[in-house]
Amino acid sequence: MDSILEMKGITKTFPGVKALDDVNLSVREGEIHALIGENGAGKSTLMKVLSGVYPQGSFDGEIRFRGQPQAFRGIADSERLGIIIIHQELALVPLLSITENLFLGNEQASRGVIDWDAATLRARELLRMVGLHDPPETLITDIGVGKQQLVEIAKALSKEVKLLILDEPTASLNESDSDALLELLLQFKARGIASILISHKLNEIAKVADRVTILRDGTTVETLDCREAVVSQDRIIRGMVGRALSDRYPRRTTVPGDVLFEVKGWSADHPAHPGRRVVRDVNLTVRRGEVVGIAGLMGAGRTEFAMSLFGRSYGRNIRGQAFLDGREIDVSTISRAMANGLAYATEDRKHLGLVLDNDIRHNVTLANLKGVAKRWVIDHEREVQVAEEFRRRLRIRCPDVFQETVNLSGGNQQKVVLSKWLFADPQVLILDEPTRGIDVGAKYEIYTIINQLVAEGRGVVLISSEMPELLGVADRIFVMNAGAMVAEMPAAEASQEKIMRAIMRSGETLMSGEALP
Amino acid sequence: MSAELNLPARGPRVSMGRFVKAHMRDYGMLLSLVAIVLFFQYMTDGTLLQPLNLTNLVLQNSYIVIMALGMLLVIVAGHIDLSVGSVVALIGALAATLMVRLHLDIVTTTLLCLLAGAAIGAVQGFWVAYLRIPSFIVTLAGMLVFRGLCLILLAGQSVGPFPVEFQRLSSGFIPDFLALDAFNLGKFHLTSLLLCAAVAAALVVMNTMARLRRQSVAIEQEPLPLFVAKNVALAAVLIYVGQLLASYRGLPNVLIIMSVLIALYSFVTRNTTVGRRVYALGGNEKAAKLSGIDTRRLSFYTFVNMGVLAALAGLIFAARLNTATPKAGVSFELDVIAACFIGGASASGGVGRVTGAVIGAFIMGVMNNGMSILGIGIDWQQVIKGMVLLAAVTIDVYNKNKA
């Protein structure tokens, strides 16, 4: 069989990070090719190289499409050849109709005047092909995510797609929608359209994929052919996570003490869709001096859980109890949660963590202005001393504390966010992806800070998508999937395979439609 | 890494050039005001700074300056208030109704009017902060509603005159406790001059103390020569203005009210937790909220505050005209908003200073006054003012991007 796509020796570097290192990918005519790997393995970057988001010249390597070498300058170039990518975050305009979205930028028009009759007829035809029976004039905002996914695919069809790329298309779909979507991929295959399917759900891959390429840490591990021999899930998982842990984590001697913090029966619904449960009956304990890790894939509900716990800053219909030292505490608003010893350092430091226009000093004291004020009046000198102290303790690299945080590197910004919460002096600190996007050295320093915190008898909850980090830093690991805690294990007994297996198993239980309250 | 950890005992030394460059935005505005004053002083052959005209300048601008203080907080919080001009008219009408028609006393009337202003602010603030309707729309509606209510209250007519004591709010001057003819000073208002001198001395002492305090914790300081020059200039300008005003009728009552408010609001914005939180709210509402700040309540109170200040401005304006008219305060909101933006506030919130807004208001005021003396028509005045606003903000944005 001929290859429709050959990507050879793709290397892409960002300042300080090698995102892709000599990656090879070959997709045959009319096959469904699964691309898998951990978060951050380089899947999305590879697809951005393919679709022209990163133009020719910003990476090394060669792309051949149907045998011809290609030099894409932008998405328009790749789309012209029929390479269409559907991102995880759908690119639809919510307040326009299905028809308008289908032909956005590609209107059925002559001399700028849209022919609505032609557009509607063509839209109906496309929707029939993807099995969507809603009227084309329905607004996108009025249909569910599953149908929106179908609209995206119909849009791809309207552009004469040859190679369809789906980035975790079923991540936010329920079972029947997922099945319908996979069925659609098989239909396209029958019509000779090749697809690249990025997914974490191994059972789906087993169902539809012809071949699987595994990425890890920005390199190609291997390509397995599912049609020649049966490829087991364990085989794939080993390929995904199989790497040796080096000494990247500072040693900790603290021994966890009594139970400090406990959450019982915590549930929350999606803020925009009441009734759509995103956190399901979560129980969690944190002991004094303990780092508790929460593992899970993106969208597992970890951030949603943490934010709903921290003063109901996410979700609605929130239920459950929180205890500190055995006493039930009120966490119904952020200021009450903080007063009761809770703190949450966000994963999204630019949008939720920092006031970027303000300097380091003002950001550090923001959550505890009372700590540098007498009554209402801020003691500026004391404020500078406090900020200076954190700058030294956390080794924030900057000339002085009067630098605007917008100018700092990611790692230093993260340290400012941590400083803010350390100055608020919490008993339990929830860290959401504290090392995302920062370099190895800064990571080590942040792990050291975590060690200091637990040595002082506090509790730390560490949410991370990097499993080696969880294994290296946490004392105990909870595994979360689809809003529920699906496993709990001491870090000493945990392994990446074990965690991944817990996620996959629970995914299957959910897929087979059991026990959804 | 460890070498940079020892804290210097004294403030880091900064070269004059670097410091001026880093703070060009702060000085630039003040220098622009000085340049504009000198320009019109020259063009009007000295009329601009004649005691009578200077007094008028203060009286004419007081209500704009007072409202700019509230507007600055609203803008820093990331909102806007278009209704203040209509609120000025409505409160003037309310004061006239209470005093002229119902013969209530001044104190009761003033309190009721300020309360009405707070209520107006509270209603708009509730819509903006709790119902999350964009402030532009809420206050645009308010602008129409309050103007309409003012017309209804006045039945379309002007109502006046006000009792004499009320007029003093705007046209009165502080009494001269030292009216001694022994110095043969004629009608020179010695109290006013001494008051200005005392304020100047107090400011210099406070600045010096702050500088010494900072030195102990290594905050970057402006170089000593610059500090001395700035304080000498500040004291000289204050005493000079005091001397000018004293040679007419002394300090207007309004100037005292205005000065106290300016001092209060610059203290609140710079030195209090509430002030700091408003900046955080405007800079990044979500981050502020996740840091435990009740952002909705804070937004709400910035509008309540704006309402009270607009009411005060309404009283002063009515007292100055000595009638309440339906046309009062038309387009004031634009002058007030322009003052804030000329003074360096950011339209996207989080950035702006009280001193900047006050300077901005005076830049507008001096231009109005100077161009009127020169006999420039209202048509060209608007064109010029519009271009100055655009130029000021463009330079500010350009400087910021370059920095």
Cβ–Cβ below 8 Å for B289 and A355: no
Among A394, A424, A454, residue at a domain's last position: A424
Q: Which of A215, A223, A220, A233 is nearest to A40 (CA)?
A: A215
In a domain, A113, yes or no: yes
Could you read off the pLDDT of A342-370 as tens digits, one per residue?
999 998 888 899 999 899 999 999 999 99
- The verdict on A420 and A430 lying in the same domain is no
In a domain, A185, yes or no: yes
The pLDDT value recorded for residue B11 is 45
**To which residue do tokens 């019109």 refer?**
B40
- The verdict on A255 and A198 lying in the same domain is no
- From first to last of the 403 residues of chain B, give the pLDDT tens digit: 333 333 444 444 556 676 776 677 677 788 888 999 999 999 999 888 898 999 999 998 999 999 999 999 999 999 999 999 999 999 999 999 999 999 999 999 999 999 999 999 999 999 999 999 999 999 999 999 999 999 999 998 999 899 998 998 888 888 877 666 555 556 678 888 889 999 999 999 998 888 888 777 666 677 888 889 889 988 999 999 998 888 888 889 999 999 999 999 999 999 999 999 999 999 999 999 999 999 999 999 999 999 999 999 999 999 999 999 999 999 899 999 999 999 989 888 999 999 999 999 999 999 999 999 999 988 999 899 899 889 888 887 887 765 5
Among A201, A216, A241, residue at a domain's last position: A241
Calculate how close chain B gets to A120, using CA atoms only, in Å. Answer: 35
Neighbours of A298 (CB within 10 A): 12
Among A383, A409, A424, residue at a domain's last position: A424
CB burial class (10 A; 0-12, 13-18, 19+) of residue B29?
buried
Which residues, numbered 346 to 365 in chain B, qualify as contacts with chain A under a Cβ-Cβ cut-off of 8 Å?
350-351
Which residues, numbered 267 to 306 in chain B, qualify as contacts with chain A under a Cβ-Cβ cut-off of 8 Å?
271-274, 276-277, 279-280, 283-284, 286-294
Rounded distance, CA A271 to CA B328, Å?
A: 46
- The verdict on A140 and A154 lying in the same domain is yes
Which residues, numbered 265 to 294 in chain A, qualify as contacts with chain B under a Cβ-Cβ cut-off of 8 Å?
none
- The verdict on A326 and A200 lying in the same domain is no
Best A303, A333, A351, A358 residue to mutate vs chain B (most B CBs within 10 Å): A358
Calculate how close chain A gets to B84, using CA atoms only, in Å. Answer: 28
Could you read off the pLDDT of A104-122 as tens digits, one per residue?
877 888 888 888 888 899 9
Calculate how close chain A gets to B153, using CA atoms only, in Å. Answer: 40
Which residues, numbered 402 to 431 in chain A, qualify as contacts with chain B under a Cβ-Cβ cut-off of 8 Å?
402, 420, 424
Cβ–Cβ below 8 Å for A385 and B1: no
Measured between beta carbons, which residues in chain B are less than 8 angstroms from residue A402? Answer: 220
In a domain, A352, yes or no: no
In a domain, A496, yes or no: yes
- The verdict on A307 and A160 lying in the same domain is no
- The verdict on A194 and A253 lying in the same domain is no
Q: Which domain holds residue A372?
A: 360-424
ipTM score above 0.85: no
Best A346, A369, A393, A394 residue to mutate vs chain B (most B CBs within 10 Å): A369
Cβ–Cβ below 8 Å for B284 and A356: yes
The pLDDT value recorded for residue A42 is 82
The pLDDT value recorded for residue B127 is 97
- The verdict on A366 and A419 lying in the same domain is yes
Q: Which of A30, A18, A280, A50 is nearest to A167 (CA)?
A: A50
**Using omega within 30 degrees of 0 as the cis cutoff, is the peptide bond preceding B161 cis?**
yes
Neighbours of A325 (CB within 10 A): 13
Neighbours of B376 (CB within 10 A): 15
Best B7, B284, B286 residue to mutate vs chain A (most A CBs within 10 Å): B284
In a domain, A490, yes or no: yes
Q: How confident is the model at residue A280 (pLDDT cuts 50, 70, 90)?
A: very high
Instruction: Out of A39-53, A63-77, A179-193, A308-322, pick the least confident.
Output: A39-53
Both tokens assigned to A304: 């949603």
Calculate how close chain B gets to A507, using CA atoms only, in Å. Answer: 32
Parallel, antiparallel or unpaired: strands A316-324 and A327-329: antiparallel
In a domain, A364, yes or no: yes
Question: Which strands form A211-216's sheet, in the order they lie side by side?
Answer: A83-86, A163-167, A194-198, A32-36, A211-216, A219-225
Count of structural domains within chain A:
3
Calculate how close chain B gets to A353, using CA atoms only, in Å. Answer: 5
Rounded distance, CA B33 to CA B25, Å?
A: 13
> Would you say B189 and B246 are in contact if contact means Cβ atoms under 8 Å apart?
yes
Measured between beta carbons, which residues in chain A are less than 8 angstroms from residue B351? Answer: 357
In a domain, A387, yes or no: yes
Both tokens assigned to A407: 């100018």
The pLDDT value recorded for residue A512 is 44
- The verdict on A399 and A461 lying in the same domain is no
- The verdict on A404 and A414 lying in the same domain is yes
Q: What is the sign of the dihedral through the CA atoms of B27, B33, B36 and B41?
A: negative
- The verdict on A264 and A193 lying in the same domain is no
Parallel, antiparallel or unpaired: strands A316-324 and A259-269: antiparallel
The pLDDT value recorded for residue A325 is 93
- The verdict on A20 and A151 lying in the same domain is yes
Neighbours of A347 (CB within 10 A): 22
In a domain, A269, yes or no: yes
- The verdict on A49 and A192 lying in the same domain is yes
Cβ–Cβ below 8 Å for B279 and A358: yes
Instruction: For the full predicted model, state whether its pTM sits above 0.80.
Output: no
Cβ–Cβ below 8 Å for B218 and A388: yes
Taking CA–CA distances from B281, the nearest residue in chain A reads A355
Q: How confident is the model at residue A15 (pLDDT cuts 50, 70, 90)?
A: low
The pLDDT value recorded for residue A516 is 40
Q: How confident is the model at residue A16 (pLDDT cuts 50, 70, 90)?
A: low
For residue A272, what is the domain's CATH number?
A: 3.40.50.300
